[in-house]
Amino acid sequence: MGQLEITPLDAADPAAMAAWHAAYHAAHVAGRAYSTPWMLEEMRADLTADRPGSRSLGFSGHVDGTLVTTGLLGLPLMDNLHAADVEVHTHPAHRGRGHGSRMLEHLEGVAREHGRRTLRSEAATPYAGAADGSGHPHADFLLHRGFTFALGNVMRVLDLPADERMLQRLADEAAPRHAGYRIRQFAGPVPEDIVEPFGALVGAVQTEAPTGELDVEPEVFDAARIRADEEVFAASGRTKYTTVAIAPDGTVVAFSEVAVPAHDPGRVYQWGTLVLREHRGRRLGQATKAHNLLWLQRERADLALLVTYNAEVNRHMIAVNEAMGFRPVERLGEYQRTLG
């Protein structure tokens, strides 16, 4: 067998992109009942995007002309300039031959070229396994290569449609705690009149939500970045449904949003949910999540499964999700490595 040859992916080349995604997808779903891979159209939109907030670089690993492993490097461009996000996916038929290790080394080298000192990655492991994923090949691949466990998340799923009476009850129970606050909803792009305060809210998720030992700083989401990201959402076939809470002084203080993918039928993904620290204790997280799902179900009766992730230490949000009927199915560990 020949040596692994690693080359940059030309995501604008339909054949190259299709081959890359086929290997990535096969690796992502192997042995997992609830895997969440990006679809071909979504990955193409991300890899071909020219946007101010981040840049994604793909790499293909071939042996004798066969694509056996894929690499993905994410580079923040407006914040967290010390970090790079890495993903390695080796086709199940070609594992155990060192291809993934070679790809990870290559991604590390590219990250260094871009001046990054911290690598971040994730690994999905069974829910019944260890909290840090140790003992499972996905996590051990990182742990045995210098990464340390930084934050544990749990994937939870909810079969749709959820009981509307239950959702309405959750919304009604929360309402007296935030009298004077206004609930507002929108699908797709963020309305122009709240785009700046909404961006500040979304940017706070990186540090206001539990981060464990992760080396992260707040993200910058100005109007230009939000609009550029919205173009990528549209190109990827994703539609966001968002509910925000607005304080009596007009400040956007809480939000919950889901993304409905056009190319992953029946699925919907919970994205951010956050309440600004000074407005917590008013059940705004519960209210925005319940209102958002009520609205979504009335708009999209074709959806069958809602997927969310929560840090294990985020007991408040876990309690809200459990009250809504979510059940745990898998772990997602976040790992990092400091480059010497």
- Are 215 and 82 in contact by the 8 Å Cβ rule? The answer is yes
The tens digit of pLDDT for each residue in 26-47 reads: 999 999 999 999 999 999 999 9
User: How confident is the model at residue 208, as a pLDDT?
Assistant: 78
Mean of pLDDT values over 186-196 = 97
pLDDT of 1 higher than 70? no
What are the Cα distances from residue 7, in Å, to 78, 112, 130? 27, 17, 35
**For range 251-262, the mean pLDDT:** 97
Domain with CATH 3.40.630.30 in the chain: 5-116, 157-335
Residue 94 has pLDDT above 80, yes or no: yes
For 37-76, the pLDDT digits (tens) are 999 999 999 999 999 999 999 999 999 999 999 999 999 9
Q: What is d(CA 306, CA 294) in angstroms, rounded to the nearest whole number?
A: 13
Residue 232 has pLDDT above 90, yes or no: yes
- Indicate whether 302 pLDDT > 80: yes
CATH architecture assigned to 157-335: 3-Layer(aba) Sandwich (3.40)
Q: How confident is the model at residue 218 (pLDDT cuts 50, 70, 90)?
A: confident
Average per-residue pLDDT in the chain? Answer: 96
91 contacts 42 by C-beta, under 8 angstroms: no
pLDDT given at position 70:
98
> What confidence score (pLDDT) does residue 204 get?
86
5-116 placed in CATH 3.40.630.30:
yes
Query: Who's near 13: CB < 8 A, 6+ residues apart?
Result: none
Model pLDDT for residues 323-339, shown as the tens digit of each residue: 999 999 999 999 999 99
